Amino acid sequence: MTVHDLRGGTIATVTGGREHTVTPAEARAWRGLLAQHGVAKVRHGVARGVDQWCALDAADLGLVVEAWPADWKAHGRSAGPRRNVAMLRGGVQGTAFANLLIAFPGGSGTAHCCSVARGLWIPVIEIERVVAQVHP
């Protein structure tokens, strides 16, 4: 597979806050985005909150779920940013870049992940904007 190859379906990476609780409106928007973009695989960073909720929901929908934990022992404070880059780039040679980043509300880690995605020309969809369009 090559960069942005869609033969296996869209790869969506998710980012969001550890303390954020996904609302019913966000859950509907999330599921709509997965269907709209033909998502077959969801990557998450194994953090509590948004990551865990999205991983469980994606698994319930029968999607492939990839966990990308940060290696805090090896990398200290840079572990989260390193993990974000790896999730978006595919990490291991031969794996595909993410095709899409779905961003829930969060803090500096979420902002970093969005910034990296934009730098890699990966579309970023902010769930709050989707919800606002549906419920202005």
pLDDT tens profile 44-100? 999 999 999 999 999 999 999 999 999 999 999 999 999 999 999 987 655 789 999
Percent of the chain with pLDDT over 90: 85
Question: Distance between CA 11 and CA 40 in Å, rounded?
Answer: 6
Examine the pLDDT at 136 and tell me if it is beyond 90: no
pLDDT surpassing 90 at residue 25: yes
- The answer to whether position 25 is within a domain reads no
Neighbouring CB atoms inside 10 A of 24's CB total: 8
Token pair 């859950």: residue: 27
Distance CA 70, CA 45 (A): 7
User: Is 113 part of any domain?
Assistant: no
**Residue 30 amino acid letter:** W
Determine the pLDDT at residue 3. Answer: 40
Distance CA 70, CA 104 (A): 19
Evaluate whether 89 touches 13 at the Cβ level (below 8 Å). Answer: no
Considering the domain boundaries, does residue 54 fall inside one?
A: yes
Is residue 39 domain-resident? no
Give the chain's radius of gyration (CA, Å).
14
Q: What is the pTM of this model?
A: 0.91
Residue 8: predicted pLDDT: 66
**Domain annotation covers residue 85:** yes
d(CA 95, CA 18): 27
Query: Domain limits at 2?
Result: 1-9+47-105
Number of domains into which the chain is organized: 1
| 113/100 Cα distance (integer angstroms) | 12
Q: Is residue 74 part of a domain?
A: yes
Considering the domain boundaries, does residue 16 fall inside one?
Answer: no
Task: Assess if residue 83 is contained within a domain.
Answer: yes
